[in-house]
Structure 1
Protein backbone atom coordinates (compact mmCIF):
# COMPACT_ATOMS: atom_id res chain seq x y z
CA UNK A 1 0.00 0.00 0.00
CA UNK A 2 1.32 3.43 -0.94
CA UNK A 3 0.66 6.44 1.24
CA UNK A 4 0.39 9.97 -0.05
CA UNK A 5 2.77 12.28 1.83
CA UNK A 6 0.60 15.25 0.82
CA UNK A 7 -2.55 13.73 2.33
CA UNK A 8 -4.12 15.83 5.04
CA UNK A 9 -4.04 14.46 8.58
CA UNK A 10 -7.31 13.13 9.96
CA UNK A 11 -6.61 14.44 13.47
CA UNK A 12 -4.94 17.58 14.74
CA UNK A 13 -1.19 17.23 15.12
CA UNK A 14 0.69 19.15 17.79
CA UNK A 15 4.35 19.84 18.49
CA UNK A 16 5.41 21.81 21.57
CA UNK A 17 8.85 22.45 23.03
CA UNK A 18 10.74 24.98 25.15
CA UNK A 19 13.90 26.62 23.83
CA UNK A 20 16.59 28.77 25.37
CA UNK A 21 15.88 32.45 24.84
CA UNK A 22 18.96 32.89 22.66
CA UNK A 23 19.59 33.21 18.91
CA UNK A 24 20.67 29.57 18.95
CA UNK A 25 17.35 28.58 20.56
CA UNK A 26 15.44 30.52 17.89
CA UNK A 27 17.37 28.76 15.09
CA UNK A 28 16.70 25.37 16.67
CA UNK A 29 12.98 26.18 16.97
CA UNK A 30 12.87 27.06 13.27
CA UNK A 31 14.73 23.91 12.24
CA UNK A 32 12.60 21.58 14.35
CA UNK A 33 9.42 23.24 13.07
CA UNK A 34 10.62 22.69 9.50
CA UNK A 35 11.23 19.00 10.17
CA UNK A 36 7.84 18.59 11.84
CA UNK A 37 6.00 20.33 8.98
CA UNK A 38 7.65 17.97 6.50
CA UNK A 39 6.63 14.97 8.63
CA UNK A 40 3.05 16.28 8.65
CA UNK A 41 2.89 16.34 4.84
CA UNK A 42 3.86 19.96 4.23
CA UNK A 43 7.06 19.19 2.31
CA UNK A 44 10.33 21.11 2.20
CA UNK A 45 10.54 23.46 -0.76
CA UNK A 46 6.82 24.18 -0.96
CA UNK A 47 5.43 27.66 -0.46
CA UNK A 48 3.39 26.74 2.65
CA UNK A 49 6.43 25.07 4.26
CA UNK A 50 8.67 28.05 3.59
CA UNK A 51 6.09 30.60 4.74
CA UNK A 52 5.15 28.77 7.95
CA UNK A 53 8.84 28.29 8.74
CA UNK A 54 9.37 32.02 8.22
CA UNK A 55 6.51 32.80 10.62
CA UNK A 56 8.13 30.51 13.22
CA UNK A 57 11.51 32.18 12.66
CA UNK A 58 10.12 35.70 13.06
CA UNK A 59 8.08 34.94 16.18
CA UNK A 60 10.96 33.04 17.79
CA UNK A 61 13.40 35.86 16.99
CA UNK A 62 10.99 38.37 18.53
CA UNK A 63 10.68 36.22 21.67
CA UNK A 64 14.48 36.26 21.99
CA UNK A 65 14.92 39.95 21.17
CA UNK A 66 11.88 41.49 22.88
CA UNK A 67 10.64 38.84 25.31
CA UNK A 68 13.86 37.68 26.91
CA UNK A 69 14.04 37.42 30.69
CA UNK A 70 17.29 35.99 32.06
CA UNK A 71 16.86 32.36 33.07
CA UNK A 72 13.54 31.98 31.23
CA UNK A 73 12.93 30.01 28.04
CA UNK A 74 10.43 30.61 25.26
CA UNK A 75 7.92 28.00 24.17
CA UNK A 76 6.97 27.06 20.62
CA UNK A 77 3.74 25.24 19.85
CA UNK A 78 2.68 24.16 16.36
CA UNK A 79 -0.69 22.68 15.61
CA UNK A 80 -1.90 21.44 12.24
CA UNK A 81 -5.67 21.27 11.95
CA UNK A 82 -7.24 18.08 10.62
CA UNK A 83 -7.88 17.93 6.90
CA UNK A 84 -5.17 20.50 6.19
CA UNK A 85 -7.21 23.58 7.09
CA UNK A 86 -4.58 25.62 8.91
CA UNK A 87 -1.38 25.56 10.91
CA UNK A 88 -1.28 27.56 14.13
CA UNK A 89 2.06 28.83 15.43
CA UNK A 90 2.29 30.00 19.05
CA UNK A 91 5.38 31.45 20.70
CA UNK A 92 5.20 32.26 24.41
CA UNK A 93 7.81 34.33 26.23
CA UNK A 94 8.21 35.71 29.76
CA UNK A 95 7.81 39.48 29.15
CA UNK A 96 4.24 40.64 29.67
CA UNK A 97 5.05 44.36 29.56
CA UNK A 98 6.44 44.27 26.00
CA UNK A 99 3.48 43.48 23.78
CA UNK A 100 3.50 43.42 19.98
CA UNK A 101 1.98 46.28 18.04
CA UNK A 102 0.30 46.06 14.68
CA UNK A 103 2.89 47.03 12.08
CA UNK A 104 2.19 49.96 9.80
CA UNK A 105 4.28 50.23 6.67
CA UNK A 106 5.05 53.86 6.11
CA UNK A 107 6.07 55.31 2.78
CA UNK A 108 9.79 54.83 2.30
CA UNK A 109 10.01 51.98 4.83
CA UNK A 110 10.51 49.19 2.31
CA UNK A 111 14.12 48.11 2.48
CA UNK A 112 15.21 50.63 5.12
CA UNK A 113 17.23 48.87 7.82
CA UNK A 114 17.57 45.20 8.59
CA UNK A 115 15.20 44.94 11.56
CA UNK A 116 11.66 45.84 12.44
CA UNK A 117 9.91 43.92 9.68
CA UNK A 118 9.13 40.66 11.52
CA UNK A 119 5.51 41.31 12.41
CA UNK A 120 4.93 42.97 9.05
CA UNK A 121 6.02 39.71 7.40
CA UNK A 122 3.87 37.67 9.77
CA UNK A 123 0.84 39.86 9.05
CA UNK A 124 1.35 39.40 5.30
CA UNK A 125 1.82 35.62 5.45
CA UNK A 126 -0.67 34.62 8.13
CA UNK A 127 -4.44 34.58 7.72
CA UNK A 128 -4.56 36.23 11.14
CA UNK A 129 -2.37 36.83 14.17
CA UNK A 130 -2.61 38.34 17.62
CA UNK A 131 -1.35 37.93 21.17
CA UNK A 132 -2.77 37.21 24.61
CA UNK A 133 -1.43 37.01 28.17
CA UNK A 134 0.30 33.71 28.83
CA UNK A 135 -2.14 31.46 30.73
CA UNK A 136 0.52 29.26 32.35
CA UNK A 137 2.72 31.94 33.88
CA UNK A 138 4.08 35.45 33.41
CA UNK A 139 4.45 36.71 29.89
CA UNK A 140 2.54 36.62 26.63
CA UNK A 141 1.80 34.29 23.74
CA UNK A 142 1.98 35.60 20.17
CA UNK A 143 0.16 33.40 17.69
CA UNK A 144 -0.40 33.25 13.95
CA UNK A 145 -2.62 31.05 11.81
CA UNK A 146 -1.57 30.05 8.32
CA UNK A 147 -4.46 28.95 6.08
CA UNK A 148 -3.46 25.95 4.00
CA UNK A 149 -6.75 25.70 2.15
CA UNK A 150 -6.32 29.03 0.40
CA UNK A 151 -2.86 28.18 -0.88
CA UNK A 152 -2.00 25.12 -2.95
CA UNK A 153 1.05 23.11 -1.95
CA UNK A 154 3.52 23.75 -4.77
CA UNK A 155 7.13 22.81 -5.00
Structure 2
Protein backbone atom coordinates (compact mmCIF):
# COMPACT_ATOMS: atom_id res chain seq x y z
CA UNK A 1 0.00 0.00 0.00
CA UNK A 2 1.18 3.56 -0.70
CA UNK A 3 0.87 5.97 2.21
CA UNK A 4 1.70 9.66 2.36
CA UNK A 5 2.75 11.22 5.66
CA UNK A 6 3.36 14.79 6.74
CA UNK A 7 4.03 16.51 10.04
CA UNK A 8 5.06 19.78 11.57
CA UNK A 9 7.55 20.36 14.41
CA UNK A 10 5.28 18.64 16.96
CA UNK A 11 5.53 15.29 15.20
CA UNK A 12 9.02 14.21 14.03
CA UNK A 13 9.28 11.42 16.61
CA UNK A 14 5.74 10.27 15.83
CA UNK A 15 6.45 10.23 12.12
CA UNK A 16 9.66 8.27 12.61
CA UNK A 17 7.91 5.57 14.67
CA UNK A 18 4.95 5.36 12.28
CA UNK A 19 7.16 5.18 9.18
CA UNK A 20 9.29 2.44 10.75
CA UNK A 21 6.13 0.48 11.61
CA UNK A 22 4.65 0.90 8.13
CA UNK A 23 7.86 -0.02 6.35
CA UNK A 24 8.12 -3.16 8.49
CA UNK A 25 4.73 -4.11 7.04
CA UNK A 26 5.96 -3.55 3.47
CA UNK A 27 4.18 -0.25 2.75
CA UNK A 28 5.63 2.40 0.43
CA UNK A 29 5.89 5.78 2.15
CA UNK A 30 5.89 9.30 0.72
CA UNK A 31 7.46 11.46 3.43
CA UNK A 32 6.53 15.13 3.37
CA UNK A 33 7.18 15.88 7.04
CA UNK A 34 9.88 17.80 8.83
CA UNK A 35 12.53 15.96 10.81
CA UNK A 36 13.30 18.84 13.17
CA UNK A 37 11.64 20.52 16.12
CA UNK A 38 12.15 23.99 14.63
CA UNK A 39 8.86 25.82 14.21
CA UNK A 40 7.34 25.34 10.75
CA UNK A 41 3.93 25.91 9.20
CA UNK A 42 1.77 22.75 9.08
CA UNK A 43 0.08 23.66 5.75
CA UNK A 44 3.47 23.30 4.06
CA UNK A 45 3.44 19.62 5.05
CA UNK A 46 -0.29 18.90 4.92
CA UNK A 47 -0.95 20.06 1.37
CA UNK A 48 1.55 17.61 -0.21
CA UNK A 49 -0.12 14.72 1.65
CA UNK A 50 -3.52 15.88 0.45
CA UNK A 51 -2.24 16.15 -3.14
CA UNK A 52 -0.98 12.56 -2.94
CA UNK A 53 -4.37 11.29 -1.74
CA UNK A 54 -6.38 13.54 -4.06
CA UNK A 55 -4.38 12.40 -7.11
CA UNK A 56 -4.51 8.76 -5.98
CA UNK A 57 -0.71 8.59 -5.81
CA UNK A 58 -1.29 7.38 -2.24
CA UNK A 59 -4.08 5.15 -0.92
CA UNK A 60 -4.08 6.87 2.47
CA UNK A 61 -2.57 9.85 4.25
CA UNK A 62 -1.32 10.47 7.75
CA UNK A 63 -0.89 13.98 9.11
CA UNK A 64 0.47 15.06 12.47
CA UNK A 65 0.58 18.38 14.28
CA UNK A 66 0.25 19.49 17.90
CA UNK A 67 -3.54 19.41 18.15
CA UNK A 68 -4.22 17.61 14.88
CA UNK A 69 -6.76 20.31 14.04
CA UNK A 70 -4.83 22.74 11.87
CA UNK A 71 -3.34 20.11 9.62
CA UNK A 72 -6.72 18.32 9.35
CA UNK A 73 -8.36 21.59 8.30
CA UNK A 74 -5.64 22.03 5.71
CA UNK A 75 -5.98 18.63 4.05
CA UNK A 76 -9.78 18.72 4.16
CA UNK A 77 -9.68 21.65 1.71
CA UNK A 78 -8.80 19.16 -1.04
CA UNK A 79 -11.39 17.37 -3.19
CA UNK A 80 -11.99 13.79 -2.16
CA UNK A 81 -9.93 14.06 1.00
CA UNK A 82 -11.72 13.07 4.20
CA UNK A 83 -9.39 13.60 7.14
CA UNK A 84 -10.46 12.46 10.58
CA UNK A 85 -8.93 13.82 13.77
CA UNK A 86 -8.36 10.74 15.93
CA UNK A 87 -7.11 10.36 19.47
CA UNK A 88 -8.15 6.74 20.15
CA UNK A 89 -8.09 3.58 18.06
CA UNK A 90 -11.88 3.37 18.40
CA UNK A 91 -12.29 6.77 16.74
CA UNK A 92 -9.85 5.73 14.00
CA UNK A 93 -11.91 2.59 13.41
CA UNK A 94 -15.19 4.50 13.20
CA UNK A 95 -13.64 7.11 10.90
CA UNK A 96 -12.92 4.34 8.41
CA UNK A 97 -16.11 2.29 8.96
CA UNK A 98 -18.62 5.13 8.89
CA UNK A 99 -16.90 8.04 7.13
CA UNK A 100 -14.57 6.31 4.66
CA UNK A 101 -11.81 8.61 5.94
CA UNK A 102 -8.70 8.42 3.81
CA UNK A 103 -6.46 10.59 6.00
CA UNK A 104 -5.89 10.21 9.72
CA UNK A 105 -4.90 13.30 11.67
CA UNK A 106 -2.98 12.68 14.86
CA UNK A 107 -2.67 15.21 17.74
CA UNK A 108 0.93 14.72 18.90
CA UNK A 109 0.45 16.74 22.07
CA UNK A 110 -2.49 14.61 23.19
CA UNK A 111 -1.47 11.05 22.28
CA UNK A 112 1.55 8.88 22.94
CA UNK A 113 3.67 7.40 20.17
CA UNK A 114 2.42 3.85 20.89
CA UNK A 115 -1.18 5.14 20.73
CA UNK A 116 -0.45 6.84 17.42
CA UNK A 117 1.03 3.68 15.90
CA UNK A 118 -1.95 1.67 17.15
CA UNK A 119 -4.39 4.18 15.65
CA UNK A 120 -2.61 4.07 12.29
CA UNK A 121 -2.66 0.28 12.30
CA UNK A 122 -6.38 0.24 13.11
CA UNK A 123 -7.13 2.93 10.52
CA UNK A 124 -5.33 1.10 7.72
CA UNK A 125 -6.84 -2.27 8.57
CA UNK A 126 -10.46 -1.18 8.86
CA UNK A 127 -12.77 -1.27 5.86
CA UNK A 128 -15.52 1.19 4.99
CA UNK A 129 -18.89 -0.43 5.78
CA UNK A 130 -20.75 1.29 2.96
CA UNK A 131 -24.50 0.73 3.14
CA UNK A 132 -26.29 3.53 4.98
CA UNK A 133 -22.95 5.31 5.41
CA UNK A 134 -22.28 5.54 1.66
CA UNK A 135 -25.09 8.04 1.14
CA UNK A 136 -23.66 10.23 3.91
CA UNK A 137 -20.17 10.13 2.43
CA UNK A 138 -21.64 11.05 -0.97
CA UNK A 139 -23.20 14.10 0.68
CA UNK A 140 -19.81 15.11 2.10
CA UNK A 141 -18.34 14.96 -1.41
CA UNK A 142 -21.13 16.87 -3.18
CA UNK A 143 -19.58 20.33 -2.83
Regarding TM over 0.5, the answer is no
Decide which structure has greater helix share: 2
User: What is the TM-score when the length of structure 1 is the normalising length?
Assistant: 0.30
User: What is the TM-score when the length of structure 2 is the normalising length?
Assistant: 0.32
